Structure 1
């Protein structure tokens, strides 16, 4: 299941999100969306979790969670 994470602090890197989401289950991939011209974070990321129940648990627990001084938005990504 693909999750969309928004309102990210621009200084975060993929391993920061990996550590945040790992307690909820297996992670297949983490991809922070970056500007193609300057490689700066656009403040959102996609995380792929292969087990839907674990992904939904992460959404339930981390949506609105304060991380790096920001309130994260976590949802199932539109198909």
Structure 2
């Protein structure tokens, strides 16, 4: 029940995404990917919704939405690899 969100502006914060996605259901978690070495954002995030139906509704409605000058790309995220902290997208 997680969504990969790509082509993000480097200005986007977790709260920005939570606000947008919460229109389609309960947002359990938002994780904006950050380069561990530089501390800079990587331009993508993973948004976890409570149900599959909410995930599908959000993807259908928000794909291509312009947020802070960037057209969002998204699809269903795959599970975390080996229970680690990195997402396999």
> Would you say same fold, with TM above 0.5?
yes
Cα distance between partner residues in 2 of 1:16 and 1:39: 19
Q: Number of residue pairs matched?
A: 79
- Structure 1 runs of 4+ aligned residues shifted over 3 Å read none
- The residue number in structure 2 matching 1:69 is 69
Query: 1:28 is paired with a residue of what secondary structure?
Result: strand
- The residue number in structure 2 matching 1:21 is 21
Q: In terms of Rg, which structure is larger?
A: 2
Tell me, which stretches of 5 or more residues in structure 1 are unaligned?
A: none
TM-score, normalised to structure 2, is 0.85
Report how far residue 37 of structure 1 moved. 1.3
Q: CA RMSD in A?
A: 0.8
> Are 2:46 and 1:54 aligned?
no
Deviations 1:39-61 (A, max 9, x none): 11100000111211011000001
Cα distance between partner residues in 2 of 1:20 and 1:58: 9
TM-score, normalised to structure 1, is 0.95
Larger RCO: 1 or 2 (CA < 8 Å, sep 6+): 1
- The residue number in structure 2 matching 1:3 is 3
